[in-house]
Amino acid sequence: MKKSVLFLIALLVVVGTLWGALDGIHPFGEVDKAPMDDYYIENAQRERNVNNLVTSVVFDYRGFDTLGEAAVLFTAVCSVLAVFRKGGYD
Amino acid sequence: MEPLSIIVRTICDIFAWFLAVFGAYVIIHGHLSPGGGFQGGAVVATFMALLLVSHGGKKLLSFVKPGLYSWAETTGLLLFIGTGFAGLTTAFFYNFLAGEGGLFGAVVPLGANSGILNSSGTIAVMNMAVGLEVIGGLSLIILYMFKGIRLYDDTGREETGHDR
């Protein structure tokens, strides 16, 4: 009984806050204008001499991000080797 | 894993090379077309999986050298970080090759055009570095996980051997 009352209160709080946040979302299909997007679209081809804007963002403007992804893959290979190695656990 | 029938083996022998070439194309044209290092590397790593499934582990593991893939992975990651550090005189990950006229340095005309392969500076170099790393990494994961296979009987308690 006490648990369900607590659950109901928590549910009301979560739903209330989410409902309030739903009001602030921009309408579906109308994207917010962000200065960063416009900057990429207008200047990437001239600045970086590349036709593929997605690649220019992934490997140049946000290259540090891709370095993290490559490190994640390296860590995955290391952990697979650690799990499937020969010789047990000692 | 037992070798599959000769039809499957022949078809895989032929089409594995086409897959590898297509993956290399996706990596090299990463700055012009959809795709790039990660996607093309995953396609090339399919080469290993296809041969492993069709020919069985005993035959494949006798001539595959995991050291080569390990070297590819390490070299790719080091080349990626090294390219990032090479532009450090201006900024980390600065594109110091683009538009300079040398390697990958062609100037791209503004607006829609069909694309120049020798353009985009360090982006192409990093694509190839990441492609090399993903080829090595995914092939190594396939090999290691294959070497870890154990077979059990129907009750799941007694080990009947490994599948190699």
Predicted local distance difference test score (pLDDT) of residue A41: 86
* Structural domain includes residue A89: no
Where residue A2 falls among pLDDT bands split at 50, 70, 90?
Answer: confident
* Structural domain includes residue A90: no
Q: Is the pLDDT of residue A16 over 70?
A: yes
Instruction: Say if the Cβ atoms of A84 and B144 lie within 8 Å.
Output: yes
- Tokens encoding B27: 């990596």
Helix (H) or strand (E) holding B159: strand B159-161
Provide the ipTM: 0.81
Instruction: Output the 3-class SS for B89-114.
Output: CCCCCCCCCCCCCCCCCECCCCCCCC
Interface probe for B, chosen from A42, A50, A86 (most Cβ of B below 10 Å), is A50
Low-confidence ranges of chain B (pLDDT < 70): 1, 151-164
User: Could you tell me the end-to-end alpha-carbon distance of chain A, in angstroms, rounded to an integer?
Assistant: 51
- Tokens encoding B126: 């990093």
Residues of A in Cβ contact (< 8 Å) with B144: 77, 80-81, 84
Q: Indicate the domain borders of chain B.
A: 6-161
Interface probe for B, chosen from A52, A80, A85 (most Cβ of B below 10 Å), is A52
Q: Give the Cα separation of B21 and B18 in Å (integer).
A: 5
- Over range A62-80, report the average pLDDT: 90
- Tokens encoding A41: 């679209």
Predicted local distance difference test score (pLDDT) of residue B111: 81
Return phi, psi of residue B151, to 5°: -105, 140
Instruction: Say if the Cβ atoms of A50 and B123 lie within 8 Å.
Output: yes
Where residue A87 falls among pLDDT bands split at 50, 70, 90?
Answer: low
Write out the residue range of the structural domain in which residue A75 sits: 2-83
Report DSSP state, residue B151: E
Q: Is the pLDDT of residue A60 over 70?
A: yes
Cross-chain CB nearest to A77 (options B93, B110, B140): B140
Q: Structurally, how many domains does chain A consist of?
A: 1
Q: Is A53 left (phi over 0), alpha (psi -120 to 50) or beta?
A: alpha
* Gyration radius (Cα) of chain B, Å: 20
* Structural domain includes residue A54: yes
Contacts of B31 (CB under 8 A, 6+ apart): A50, A51, A52, A55, A56, A59, B119, B120, B123, B124, B127
User: Mean pLDDT in chain A?
Assistant: 85
Q: Is the pLDDT of residue A20 over 60?
A: yes
Alpha helices by DSSP H, chain B: 6-28, 37-55, 57-63, 66-86, 122-147
Give the number of A-B residue pairs with CB atoms closer than 8 Å: 107
Q: How far is A26 from chain B (nearest CA, A)?
A: 30
Q: Is the pLDDT of residue A86 over 90?
A: no
